[in-house]
Amino acid sequence: MGWFWSEATPAIAAPVAPHPMPTSSDAVPPPSCPMHKPKAVEADIKASSLQACPYTPPDKTTRDSGPRSATISKLNPLNWMPTNLSNEAAPNQNYKLPLEREQSTIPKGDGSGNWEYPSPQQMYNALLRKGYNDTPVDGIEPMVAVHNFLNEGTWAEIMEWERRFGRGLMQGWRECARGEAGTKYSAAGEMDWTDKDLPAPQLARFTGRPGELSPRARMLQAAGWLFPSHFESEPPFDRHDWFVQRKQPDGSVKEVRYVIDYYSGPPESDGMPVFFLDVRPAVDTPAAAAARTMRWAREVWYQGTGAQLREQKTQSSNS
Residues with Cβ within 8 Å of 254's Cβ and at least 6 positions away in sequence, in order, are 245, 246, 248
User: Which pLDDT value is given to residue 4?
Assistant: 52
Q: Where are the domains of the chain?
A: 1-9+46-319
Contact 31, 237 (CB under 8 A): yes
Report pLDDT for 310.
80
How far is it, in rounded angstroms, from Cα 98 to Cα 95? Answer: 10
What is the pTM for the complete model shown? 0.74
User: 306: buried, middle or exposed (CB in 10 Å: 19+, 13-18, 0-12)?
Assistant: exposed
Q: Which residues contact 151 (CB under 8 A, 6 or more apart)?
A: 1, 2, 4, 104, 106, 117
Query: Rounded to whole angstroms, what are the CA distances from 316 to 201, 266, 311?
Result: 37, 35, 9
Residues of the chain with pLDDT under 70: 1-84, 319
Distance CA 175, CA 63 (A): 51
Q: Residues 70-105: pLDDT tens digits?
A: 444 555 555 445 566 788 888 888 899 999 999 999
- Predicted pLDDT of residue 21: 43
